[in-house]
């Protein structure tokens, strides 16, 4: 037997169907919203975790940077300290170099002064009356001092000085000259006999001395003063014979012409 559906029943059935479908749809929508919320929460959690991680990383990075800065400051301080020490050492080195240079110069000055002082005590080469020889400083000083006294006209003092020189330096190269000047000092004080002795000693020991012809003429003069004309004439003749080209020989010829 077939059923007959009234319009009302059909409408109710339609409404129930729509309601059922709406419920199913609403249930599905509710499920989808929960999933979305969970996904959103997960994303937020991940973002928060990332932010926290970034923050921690930033903090660590900040700590690292701060540590690096401190290390750089320490390094810079060490560099400055080393530079200061280097400058100090350089200054010390320069001062040491200057001190060494000053010391070397002082040593040179001392060595030079020492050499000069030693040279004052070392024999030196001198040339007196055409004769070259070695004389120590004291010897040279004493001879020149005696000669300086003679040149002032203090003949007695000069005679004493030359006599003392001959006694003190009997082997000196100055001896012929010392005897010549001693003889002249004695002649000036009219000590003719001793003067003749010193002039003859010069002629006997140094006949080639530049003062020898003058010594021979001085002997003749002393003999004339002693009134020994014969001896004076012979002395003058010997002078002319031995030293014919000398100025003393010319004076001897003139003196001979006047001797009687």
pLDDT score for 24? 52
**Residue, of 260 and 96, whose pLDDT is higher:** 96
pLDDT attached to residue 209: 95
pLDDT digits (tens, 9 = 90+) for 93-107: 889 888 889 888 888
Query: Which two three-digit tokens encode residue 104?
Result: 């070397």
150 CB-near residues (< 8 Å, 6+ apart): 158, 161, 162, 181, 184, 185
More reliable by pLDDT, 137 or 67: 137
Q: State yes or no: pLDDT of 11 exceeds 50.
A: no
Mean pLDDT of 51-75: 78
Distance of CA 9 to the CA centre of its chain: 136
Question: At residue 215, does pLDDT exceed 70?
Answer: yes
Cα 12 to Cα 53: distance, rounded to the nearest angstrom: 60
| pLDDT recorded at residue 184 | 98
pLDDT of residue 10: 54
Q: What is the mean pLDDT of the chain?
A: 85
Residues 227-239 have a mean pLDDT of: 97
What is the rounded CA–CA span in Å between residue 183 and residue 216?
11
pLDDT attached to residue 241: 97
Whole-model pTM? 0.58
* Element containing residue 128 per DSSP (H, E): strand 124-128
More reliable by pLDDT, 73 or 25: 73
At residue 250, the pLDDT reads: 96
Around Cβ 56, how many Cβ atoms within 10 Å? 10
Q: What is the pLDDT of residues 128-179, one digit of tens each?
A: 998 999 999 999 999 999 999 999 999 999 999 999 999 999 999 999 999 9
Is residue 30's pLDDT more than 60?
A: no
Which of 253, 171, 169, 188 is closest to 216 using CA atoms? 253
Give me the pLDDT at residue 110, please: 81
């Amino acid at each position: 037997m077939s059923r007959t559906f009234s319009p009302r029943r059909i409408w109710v059935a339609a409404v129930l169907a729509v309601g059922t479908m709406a419920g199913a749809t609403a249930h599905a929508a509710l499920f989808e919203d929960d999933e979305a919320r969970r996904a959103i929460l997960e994303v937020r959690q991940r973002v928060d975790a990332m932010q926290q991680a970034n923050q921690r990383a930033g903090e660590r990075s900040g700590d690292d940077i701060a540590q690096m800065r401190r290390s750089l400051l320490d390094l810079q301080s060490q560099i400055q300290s080393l530079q200061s020490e280097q400058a100090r050492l350089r200054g010390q080195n320069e001062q040491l170099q200057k001190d060494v240079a000053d010391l070397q110069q002082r040593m040179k000055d001392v060595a030079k002064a020492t050499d000069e002082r030693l040279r004052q005590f070392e024999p030196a080469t001198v040339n007196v009356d055409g004769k070259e020889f070695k004389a120590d400083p004291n010897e040279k000083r004493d001879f020149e001092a005696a000669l300086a006294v003679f040149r002032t006209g203090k003949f007695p003092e000069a005679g004493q000085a030359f006599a003392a020189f001959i006694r003190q330096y009997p082997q000196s190269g100055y001896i012929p000259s010392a005897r010549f000047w001693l003889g002249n000092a004695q002649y000036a004080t009219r000590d003719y006999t001793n003067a003749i002795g010193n002039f003859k000693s010069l002629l006997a020991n140094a006949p080639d001395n530049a003062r020898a012809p003058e010594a021979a003429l001085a002997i003749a003069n002393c003999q004339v003063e002693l009134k020994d004309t014969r001896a004076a004439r012979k002395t003058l003749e010997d002078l002319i014979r031995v030293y014919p080209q000398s100025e003393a020989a010319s004076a001897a010829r003139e003196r001979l012409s006047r001797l009687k």
